[in-house]
Amino acid sequence: MGSQHGRAVRPLVVLAILSGMLALTAAAYPLGAEALSVLVPADVTTSVDISVRLQAGEGSGTVTLLRGSDVVGQQPSAEGTALFANVSLAPGMHSLTARLDGAEGGQWLSPAVSVYSWGAPAQPTWITPAKVRVVSPVALRAQAGASTATLTLEVNGSAVRSIACAPGQIVSLGSARLAKGANILSVIATSRTGATNSVSRSVMRYEWPYSTCIVIDKSDYRLYWVSGQQLVASYKVAHGRNNWTPVGTWKVLAKYKTDPHSVYGPRKMRMFKRVGTAGHYRYVFTRYAIHGTNNPASIGHQASHGCIRMYSSDVLRLWPQVPLGTYVVTRP
């Protein structure tokens, strides 16, 4: 009889233990957003009212508002909403959760909610330009600091453009044309509070040999098209095998439309070489030219008989922009 009673009791004990484990497990799981949720704007600029909503039927107890692991405050709550008024959040990102400690036992957590508190912006950080002597137009990038919603580029005190951004974001501010000599570049950070912070630096505009010219750097296999001391475009080129292309100063004094399938590609510009002494310069015909190619694989190499080869698509863009009489400078 005793053994039968023992056999009958043990399943009841096991069932009770399992029921308790299930209750603990259920209490440990977060409730759905509809059952217990934190209501707060994603961005705040001052102290803020934070509500915690409880779904009807969830019962009463104590609601604790948590910022990370720190307790912001506690409110007794029946079914409905617990209000935490005028909560002050330090500038930066915060994760808020609510915990319900039930009057009859059990504990539930809401899903975490992220909120960014805006304060005075941190100073932005320069990315480019990194050098003091720069080509115009110059490309600029900066990194936004904390509490930054907008970066504004100024050149010599005049606003060029403003770019919306997020705190910590690396922002391309586009390019800016520079005046002759020293220029002051400034990046101004603005917070959603309206507060600002800035960083400035002085740069010197690089001066090309002529206001309008073509400059060919043989070592870099690059052709630079310059107008009004502003860099308009840069193209990859080939020059003479065995480094035959002479270094010097030239003028474009003849332009041709050529057979697109020929070694010259669709366009050619004849380079006349400068000879003589200062005050007595003259420009003489040569066999050197800037032209396209039917061998695009040669670009970027010493491959020609001395001419400057361009991709045919590039020479088609450049050819109509270059007036007769344009200076050409070939550099080592």
Where in the sequence numbering do the catalytic residues fall? 291, 307
Torsion of CA 235, 288, 226, 140, to 10 degrees: 30
Backbone angles phi, psi at 17, to 5 degrees: -65, -45
Q: Are 102 and 83 in contact (CB under 8 A)?
A: no
Q: Are 168 and 151 in contact (CB under 8 A)?
A: no
Q: Are 257 and 320 in contact (CB under 8 A)?
A: no
Where would I find the H helices in 29-159? none
Owner of token pair 């474009």:
252
CA of residue 245 relative to chain centroid, distance: 40
C-alpha angle 161-234-212 in degrees, rounded to nearest 5: 85
Backbone angles phi, psi at 298, to 5 degrees: -80, -15
Taking residue 11's Cβ as centre, other Cβ atoms within 10 Å add up to 9
249-263 residues labelled b (16+ CB within 10 A) or e (exposed): bbbbeebeebeeeeb
**Identity of residue 186:** S
Specify the pairing of strand 138-143 against strand 125-128: antiparallel
HSE value, Cβ hemisphere, 13 Å, CA-based, for 318: 32
In angstroms, the CA 156 to CA 158 distance is 6
